Amino acid sequence: MGGEMSFTLQKDKRGVVVVAVDGQLIVGNRQELKQKVLDALEGGARKFVIDFTKTGYIDSSGLGVLVSLSKKIREQGGDLRLAGLNEDLQTLFELTKLDTLFSIAQTPAEALAAF
Amino acid sequence: MITPLHLDVRQSAAGGETDFELSLAVPSDLEYVGPAVELIAARFRTGILSPRRVRFNLRTALAEALANAIAYGNRHDPGRQVRVWVEASREAVRIHVTDDGDGFDPEGVPNPTLPAYLEREEGRGLFVLRSLVDDVDFNQKGNSICLTLRAG
């Protein structure tokens, strides 16, 4: 079915957590992403990259979850960055002015290098 | 666990391949938003809308409308359904999403791009939806929204 999706977390050797969003980030699965990132934050991680290279679409609830996670991570002295947005997703961030709230890199490698 | 959705397709008697109607009943559970959107978007792989408008504008706007109807309209009540009715013609695709709720005043929703609202988690759905389709209309009660995507 179309709602199947997954989030994969990988920590690089400097401790930056890269979260790959495979499929969709929407109202039906946003809590799963939130929980995974909050667990990593709880476990001491502070630097996060959300990789949208394999993401089909995001809805406003997905955007909302990114806003709330970014806030929580910043409160802990960390940072959440976005990477790999396709043209559609970039448009969505621009429409909602969320491109002004996040640092957005072309690729996960660029986002990692900027930390 | 979700049960399969049934999409009802009717070809208009007068029209050609571009003229048809779809109807779909969606349970009031957010798990159904993704599958319902894919089921409807699949009917527009060819037709009057460009692939990008189907992939991005139609899918995202419909997901927003369904999520609003399920969460705010039907308040996740399993005894209620959201009804989707799509009218496709040569000129436009009109998607009606109706819930069993009491309706709301769309004018009362603040602009989520204003600085005071930018960092809020909720409240972007209607704005996103309006940005992605050509027209958004509500019935008087405010429990039925019509999204219009014109050919192109």
Q: In chain B, which residue's Cα lies nearest the Cα of A96?
A: B113
The CB-side HSE value for B120 (13 A sphere, CA atoms) comes to 14
Please tell me which of the candidates A2, A63, A97 has its beta carbon nearest to residue B38: A2
Residue with tokens 């602009």: B111
Across the interface, whether the CB atoms of B131 and A64 are under 8 A apart is answered no
- Nearest Cα neighbor of A25 from A53, A44, A46, A48 is A53
Supply the pTM of this predicted model.
0.89
Whole-angstrom Cα distance, residue A41 to residue A46? Answer: 6
- ipTM given for this complex: 0.86
Token pair recorded at residue A29: 């699965």
Whole-angstrom Cα distance, residue A57 to residue B106? Answer: 25
Contact of B105 with chain A, judged by CB distance below 8 Å, is answered with: no
Q: Which pairing describes strands A55-58 and A17-25: parallel, antiparallel, or unpaired?
A: parallel
Across the interface, whether the CB atoms of B71 and A27 are under 8 A apart is answered yes
Whole-angstrom Cα distance, residue B39 to residue B63? Answer: 12
Please tell me which of the candidates B39, B56, B67 has its beta carbon nearest to residue A61: B67
Whole-angstrom Cα distance, residue B125 to residue A71? Answer: 20
Q: Yes or no: say if A62 and B33 are a contact pair by the CB < 8 Å rule.
A: no
Whole-angstrom Cα distance, residue B12 to residue B24? Answer: 17
Angular region, A97: left φ>0, alpha ψ -120 to 50, beta rest = left
Per-residue pLDDT of chain A (115 residues; tens, 9 = 90+): 344 558 999 999 899 999 999 988 988 889 999 999 999 999 999 999 999 999 988 999 999 999 999 999 999 999 999 999 999 999 999 999 999 999 999 999 999 998 8
Alpha helices in B10-111 (DSSP H): 33-41, 51-52, 59-68
State mean pLDDT over B32-43: 94
